Structure 1
Amino acid sequence: MPGSHSNPSGNGDNGASAPLVAADGRPLKTSLRRALFKNKLRAILLVAPLMIFLLVAFILPIFSMLTRSVESNEVATIMPTTSSALRSWDGEGLPDESVYAALAHDLKEGQRNRNLGRVASRLNYEYSGMRSTITGTARRITRVENPDSWKDTLIDAHRNWEETNVWRVIKRESSGYTLSYYLAAMDMRYDADGSIVRQPESRRVYVDLMIKTIWMSLLITFLCFLLGYPVAFLLASLPMRTSSLLMMLVLLPFWTSLLVRTTTWIAILQSQGILNNMLVSMGIIDDQSRLQMIYNEIGTIVAMTHILLPFMILPLYSVMKSISPSYMRAARSMGATGFTAFRRVYFPQTLPGIGAGAILVFILAIGYYITPALVGGESGRFITNFIAYHMQVSLNWGLAAAIASLLLGLVIALYLIYNRLVGSDNLKLG
């Protein structure tokens, strides 16, 4: 009719459209948000066990190690009165009588609670002779009550209490945190006035050993590449049935104990071992010139190369197996020689496998300590052997944690450099 207006949508008055609804009658947007939330919750629940495992087995131990490397609460906990009294001391001359009285009180309490050994060991790391100073003084003043001067009494008990440097060490280590462990791990220390100086040359151990560990790990990685690349190439080129059989031989070492594999090399490489006997019997060397190939760097390199070689072969093989042989045939059909085709076509495609294998072998090598301990002797040890020593023998867990933290930081730095130069996207395990 004239003057009337039609509703093109046909959905009601004034052209307003009804909201879209799902099958259950709820608005579609609400149902979609609920479905997405359920999917996210399901995904979180699926990865939760893995995240909990990483938190408990990886993140928390690393956090504990980093905390222990700077933590030094023995003095503040076992000698709280002395720590509090030393806060007002300016570090010049000897403390006043109140500090000596506080020390006497803490020594008596520590002797009664039998926990002086902890603080004595901690201070002995910083100042030689503090263990005997603290324990000896505590025994002598146990029955002393209200003397005319605690200062004279303690100095009579041990002459170290009239050394200003001793009190400076106690004050420095009473803060609860310290850099002493990291300084020791970098062959440095605090001097008498609290400045940071290098250790005497005869006591510089860790920096040189850290450099040596990195160099030997890189050498082992390179040797694994030289030996593993031809093996992986052969496995990838053979028919599947034959390559599978040979792959079993590559994996066979994983079924043998690491200790057995390591001690086998001792029997092979020692002076009266199999290899030297073969060289003597073939006339290559005489009996008086047997080669010393064990309990030195050679033994460590040979044994670890053998142990870590499968970790290089497997990534290389998985990458080489995915490379089509038609690429090499195409290169040869265009006039390239076999070596040129390999160098310019095949080898660049294996770089992701080389990168993955190299990082895997290097990280495993730099963290080994059993094999160097068994076959490395004095010259073939790694920095990890000192970490184990401080954890198990000297019980200096702070220094062990500091060395391990530096090693961890160094590995991360090398990986970041590798990522900058090559790129982690080029890593490929298959």
Structure 2
Amino acid sequence: MAIQSATSEEGAIGTATDSRGRLVTSDGTPLRRALERANRRRKLTALALVAPLLAFILIFFAFPIAQMMWRSVDNPQIVNALPRTLVALEDWDGQGVPDEPVFAALHADMMEDLDRPRREQAIGPLGIRLNYELSAARSAISRTARSVPNFEEPYRDAFTDAHRLWGQPELWQIIKREGRPLTLSYYVAALDREYDADGNIVKRPENRQIYVSLFGRTLALSVAITFMTFILGFPIAYYLSTLPMRYANLLMIAVLLPFWTSLLVRTSAWIVLLQQQGVINNALVGMGFIGDDGRFSLIYNQTGTIIAMTHILLPFMVLPLYSVMRTIPPSYMRAAKSLGARPWTAFRRVYFPQTLPGIGAGGVLVFIISIGYYITPALVGGQSGRMISNEIARHIQQSLNWGLAAALGTMLLVGVLVLYWLYNRLVGADSLKLG
């Protein structure tokens, strides 16, 4: 059958042999070559069918991730703006203020940059980059750039008179350390570390350590949200799988209904419900459960983030659980009970273990989505309910420190991959069942 199928695609059917005893088709082509040609045509056809999807993934998924990872180490600003200065700093020992030749090289670099068209000038990016490392460095660069055409020798006195930072060794240490095309400074900052005067990596002052605690908070909130969706979603999925179809369909509509409503609308509704003068607190006060001065603080904190995100991500737990529970025959539970097992024992030892693939799939989905969530924590989380994604967005939109944002995003991506790898080692990714 395989020979007939292959040879029929070539336009001939037959099992003739040539002078060397090889099987050939009716047109004289060796049968082996005809089969290889047919297989090659099938592979090319399959590649042509998946090529649009592959191109979409590469352009809109893989390339942006690669670009983010590259930006987290890319460091061209100082190299482009101060090439002569970096060469002059090679012999500087890092102690005190550099000598006159370094300032002369700095003057030459800045003068050359000012002669370029405004769009090609590197002074602006240089000030922004140095300001990430040292406060007021941007103002020092911009103020000096306006005055540098009027500088006269000795340039060292002219620069130190233009701004105080030129007389501080810390600025020159940063210029020398970061004068490389690639840098790890963004990752050092993302780990709440910094470089000291000797170039060693040390902890930042405690009042400036925010990112490690944010990563820990993001992980803790994601685990809590995953657990809450499991507690609420398991009974729903169980009843969906056991109810008659007409009732199960109505319950499924209720589960899917949030997907038909805008995420912003759902989050705004929780603001109305959870605020201290909102529906929930007013109802509790009206029923006498709490006094007017004892209203709960349910929003702009971690509680609000957990409640709102649990509601939003609940369907992602229910649907994988339901898809697995529908495949569990009810006769298993009846057989366990007929053999003397109590209902709870039958559920715990017979039914529940069979739902673990659905629990794993739902847990992975909810956890991965929640660990990178942005809109809901930004609206209802306040200061204590913010997650690392909100800090990444702040650096992109406000501080414009894209390198640090890329480093934080890369660390978040690597962290998720490590957790998935651990899950695969401990449980096995092949046990996941999404439907």
TM-score by length of 1: 0.93
Q: What is the Cα deviation at residue 65 of structure 1?
A: 0.6
Identify the residue that residue 249 of structure 1 maps to in structure 2: 254
Partners of 1:83 and 1:171 within 8 A in 2: yes
Q: Which residue of 2 aligns with 1:389?
A: 394
| Structure 1 segment 12-411 matched on structure 2, within 5 A | 18-112=21-115, 113=118, 115-144=122-151, 147-411=152-416
TM-score normalised per structure 2: 0.92
In 1, the alpha carbon distance for the partners of 2:144 and 2:434 equals 63
Relative to structure 1, is the Cα distance of residues 323 and 96 closer, same or farther in structure 2, using a 3 angstrom cutoff?
Answer: same
- Using the alignment, how far apart are the partners of 1:370 and 1:111 within structure 2? 42
- Does the CA-based 8 Å contact 1:107-1:134 persist in structure 2? no
User: C-alpha offsets along residues 210-246 of structure 1, whole Å, 9 cap, x if unaligned?
Assistant: 1011001000000000000000000000122221221
Alpha-carbon distance, 1:115 to partner: 4.2
Query: Shift in Å at residue 193 of structure 1?
Result: 1.6
Residue identity opposite 1:82 in structure 2: T
Give the counterpart letter for 1:378 in structure 2: Q
Once the two structures are overlaid, the 10-residue window that deviates more, 371-380 or 164-173, is: 164-173
State how far apart, in whole Å, the 2-side matches of 1:92 and 1:290 are.
59
| One-letter amino acid matched to 1:97 | E
Amino acid at match of 2:346: A
AA of the residue aligned to 1:28: L
Q: Secondary structure at the match of 2:282?
A: helix
Following superposition, the deviation at residue 339 of structure 1 comes to 1.0
SS, match of residue 72 in structure 1: coil
Deviations for 1:332-375, whole angstroms, at most 9, x for unmatched residues?
11111111111111111110000000000001101111100100
Q: What are the equivalent positions in structure 2 for 1:406-425 lying under 5 Å apart?
A: 406-425=411-430
Q: Report the counterpart of residue 6 of structure 2 in structure 1.
A: none
My pick for the range that moved more, 127-136 or 286-295, is: 127-136
Paired with 2:317 and 2:114, the residues of 1 have a C-alpha distance of 57
Identity %: 57
AA at the equivalent of 2:313: L
| Shift, 1:199, TM fit | 0.5
What SS is found at the alignment partner of 1:176? coil
2:24 is paired with a residue whose SS is: coil
**For 2:290 and 2:250, how far apart are their aligned partners in 1?**
38
Cα distance, 1:128 vs structure 2? 2.1
Cα displacement (A) at 1:17: 6.6
For structure 1, which segment, 222-231 or 68-77, has the greater mean C-alpha deviation from structure 2 after superposition? 68-77
Q: Between Structure 1 and Structure 2, how many residues are aligned? A: 415
Question: Amino acid of the residue matched to residue 161 of structure 1?
Answer: W
What amino acid is aligned across from residue 337 of structure 2 in structure 1?
Answer: R
Distance in structure 2 (CA, Å) of the matches to 1:356 and 1:268: 31
SS of 1:316 mapped into structure 2? helix
AA partner of residue 263 (structure 1) = S
Cα deviation, residue 132, structure 1: 2.0
5+ unaligned residues in a row in structure 1: which ranges? Answer: 1-10
Separation in structure 2 between the aligned mates of residue 23 and residue 269 of structure 1, nearest angstrom? 80
- The answer to whether the Cα contact below 8 Å between 2:77 and 2:122 also exists between their aligned partners in 1 is no
Alignment-mate amino acid for residue 399 of structure 1 = L
| Superimposed CA distance per residue, residues 148-185 of structure 1 (whole angstroms, 9 cap, x where no aligned partner) | 32122222222322322221110111111111110111
**Residue segments in structure 2 that go unaligned for 5+ positions in a row:** 1-15
Conservation of the 8 A alpha-carbon contact between 2:320 and 2:433: yes
Q: Distance in 2 between matches of 1:202 and 1:68?
A: 27
Contact 2:82 2:106 in 1 (8 A): yes
Of 135-144 and 314-323, more deviation after overlay is shown by 135-144
How far the C-alpha of 1:84 sits from its partner, in A, is 2.9
Aligned residue identity for 2:272: A
Quick check: which has more Rg, 1 or 2?
1
Question: d(CA) in 2 for partners of 1:211 and 1:148?
Answer: 54
Check conservation: 1:232, 1:314, Cα contact below 8 A: yes
Per the TM alignment, residue 396 of structure 1 is displaced from its structure 2 partner at its CA by 0.4
CA distance in 1, matches of 2:53, 2:168: 55
The answer to whether the Cα contact below 8 Å between 1:185 and 1:207 also exists between their aligned partners in 2 is yes
Distance 2:114 2:278 in 1: 56
Helix, strand or coil at the partner of 1:295: coil
| Structure-2 separation of matches of 1:295 and 1:199 | 28
**AA at the equivalent of 1:234:** Y
- Deviation readout 1:15-43 (Å, 9 max, x if unpaired): x8722112333111110111111111112
